[in-house]
């Protein structure tokens, strides 16, 4: 079996229904779907108990956070690749898995584009064809559009459950930048992310930045110094471009544009 889909839920009854129906409705069927519920009290647990035909396995118990729950799901998984589709998000149509399964053929990380849906507005978040420290410093491919080889996940001991917001970012950064994980980008939209998750809420922005800063300083101190120097040079360049004296010299043809 190539694929284990893991869905984490906590008191998101409506979102859980959307996710389960999306996965169960796929034309491609050679996968397992594991649900990790954090002891919901909104009817989610009862919904799971009444609809066991929609998924492979589930547990409902207290955990210490979303990444602890994700690790629990990965520990139950049996397939070659792990895919985390959290409660509330869904796949892009019934042929989503059928359309991409042929790409799951060896790389440690395989990632796609994703629809980011905010109310009635939809934007496609595109991932880069090549990953770099500069890109990962600010962002990462969405985990709702990324397939992780289970052997890599186990090698890195899963997600750091001591982190509240950026454990998936830490995992990705370590995998690519320290462990040289092989990766592949497929330029097609695979899934839908509905804004409102913990890392997308503005009030968590400061905590997110603080967690990232601690990880960067611990794991990538040399690269971090280089990128800070690059940012400093970019700021200087931007200021020079705005300089009226520089613009005047360029208009006179005494200085090339830069």
> Which residue, among 258, 129, 178, 239, has the nearest Cα to 231 in the 3D structure?
239
pLDDT, position 253: 66
Pairing of strands 31-37, 3-9: parallel
Q: What is the reported pTM?
A: 0.84
pLDDT, position 217: 80
pLDDT, position 31: 98
pLDDT, position 209: 79
Contacts of residue 115, defined as CB under 8 A and 6 or more positions apart, other chains included, come to 92, 122, 123, 124, 125, 189, 191, 192, 193
Could you give all domains of the chain from N- to C-terminal order, each with its CATH number?
A: 3-204 (3.90.550.10), 220-258 (no CATH)
Return per-residue pLDDT of the chain as tens, 258 residues: 799 999 999 999 999 999 999 999 999 999 999 999 999 999 999 999 999 999 999 999 999 999 999 999 999 999 999 999 999 999 999 999 999 999 999 999 999 999 999 888 899 999 999 998 888 888 899 999 999 999 999 999 999 999 989 999 999 999 999 999 999 999 999 999 998 655 555 667 778 878 888 888 888 776 666 666 565 656 666 766 776 666 665 676 656 776
- How far, in whole angstroms, is CA 70 from its chain's centroid? 12
pLDDT, position 113: 97
Q: At what angle do helices 205-219 and 221-242 cross, to 10 degrees?
A: 120
DSSP state letters, 69-133: HHHHHHHH--SSEEEE--TT-EESSTTHHHHHGGG-SS-SEEEEEEEEEETTEEEEEPPPSS--H
């Amino acid at each position: 079996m190539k694929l284990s889909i893991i869905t984490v839920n906590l008191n998101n009854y409506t979102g859980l229904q959307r996710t389960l129906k999306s996965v169960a409705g796929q034309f491609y069927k050679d996968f397992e779907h594991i649900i990790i519920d954090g002891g919901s009290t909104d009817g989610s647990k009862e919904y799971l108990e009444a609809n066991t035909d929609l998924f492979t396995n589930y547990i409902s118990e207290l955990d210490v956070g979303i990444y602890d729950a994700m690790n629990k799901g990965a520990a139950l998984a049996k397939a070659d690749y792990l895919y985390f589709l959290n409660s509330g998000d869904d796949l892009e149509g019934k042929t989503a898995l059928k359309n991409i399964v042929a790409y799951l053929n060896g790389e440690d990380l395989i990632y796609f584009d994703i629809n980011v849906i905010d109310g009635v507005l939809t934007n496609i978040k595109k991932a880069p064809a090549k990953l770099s420290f500069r890109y990962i410093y600010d962002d990462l491919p969405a985990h709702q559009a990324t397939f992780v080889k289970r052997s890599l996940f186990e090698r890195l001991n899963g997600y750091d459950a001591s982190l509240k917001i950026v454990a998936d970012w830490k995992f990705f950064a370590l995998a690519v930048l320290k462990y040289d994980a092989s990766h592949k980008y497929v330029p097609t939209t695979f899934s839908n992310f509905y804004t409102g998750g913990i890392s997308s809420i503005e009030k968590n922005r400061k905590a997110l930045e603080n967690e990232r800063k601690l990880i960067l300083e611990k794991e990538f101190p040399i690269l971090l110094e280089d990128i800070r120097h690059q940012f400093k040079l970019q700021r200087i360049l931007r200021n020079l471009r705005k300089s009226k004296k520089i613009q005047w010299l360029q208009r006179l043809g005494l200085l090339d544009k830069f």
